[in-house]
A and B are shown apart, each in its own frame.
Chain A
């Protein structure tokens, strides 16, 4: 197996996630795109862990999984709160903090 095939798979997933973050208006779908990005980072970390024969990449991949879980929990709580106040989760309608 080549190193670059895993890195390229990570790059493809990362770019699809970036496209999702830019293109989507629905807040839940933006959170899903962020999950895609975090997974591509994990693939890269584990590929380099295998390449260098070290356990550091595994440790960081586990940390990223935990961070992603916390992020989804808080993110969906915020989405729920926004929905309760405004009856909509379109991200373009949240302009209260505009200066």
Chain B
């Protein structure tokens, strides 16, 4: 059983990380510098990894750090570097109708917030969660979810071959 102090600490941790994530996510979609957007995305992804730890999902958090912050961000920075002569602030990153996105996102959030609050309200998460071990996840992957795993392997293979074919110079 988790003590009350730890619960308070968890809530404070959640709030701080959530605020940092939201601010960083807003910077990702509003900044006028592609490299800065990539670096703000690193903040969001690290915050997501911290939230996974709060949700008792250590293995997914470590995978997030390895795959996203390790590999995907390098890909993004290379993509920026290879498609752009100069690195710096620039105008013209937004569509002419970009203002349309604000009401769409606002209405979407309103609908989701009403649905979530009315169905989950103040339901508490279990305070002594069952820790899911890596072995249990592997039993899931190689047991009931084997077919999606095979599909995923083919997707990754197709992605590797496709990326090589697309990016080859001839």
Contact = CB atoms under 8 A, between A and B. Distances in A.
Tell me whether A and B are bound partners: yes
Given A19-B105, A67-B155, A25 B54 contact: no
Given A24-B29, A55-B140, A8 B51 contact: no
A81 interface: yes
B144 to A, nearest CB: 8
Contact of B162 (A13, A77, A84, A92): A77
A76 B75 contact: yes
A70 to B, nearest CB: 4
Interface string A12-41: 111111111111111011011101100100
Contacts of A2: 120, 122-125
Interface string A41-80: 0110011011101011111011101111111111011111
Chain B: interface residue count, which band? 35 or more
Chain A: interface residue count, which band? 35 or more
A62 B141 contact: yes
A4 interface: yes
B34 A8 contact: no
B154 to A, nearest CB: 10
Contacts of B117: 4, 8
B83 A67 contact: no
A83 B139 CA distance: 44
A19 B26 CA distance: 10
Contacts of A12: 22, 25, 109
Given A7-B116, A29-B28, A42-B52, 16 more contacts: A2-B123, A8-B113, A11-B109, A16-B25, A25-B93, A36-B28, A47-B125, A51-B123, A53-B130, A58-B60, A62-B137, A65-B63, A70-B156, A72-B75, A76-B163, A80-B83
Interface of A: 1-9, 11-26, 28-29, 31-33, 35-36, 39, 42-43, 46-47, 49-51, 53, 55-59, 61-63, 65-74, 76-81, 83-84, 89-90, 92
30 contacts: A4-B117, A7-B116, A7-B120, A14-B109, A16-B29, A18-B101, A20-B29, A22-B100, A23-B101, A25-B93, A26-B34, A28-B80, A32-B37, A32-B41, A35-B72, A39-B44, A46-B55, A50-B129, A55-B137, A56-B140, A58-B59, A58-B140, A61-B60, A63-B152, A65-B63, A69-B72, A70-B158, A74-B163, A78-B166, A80-B167
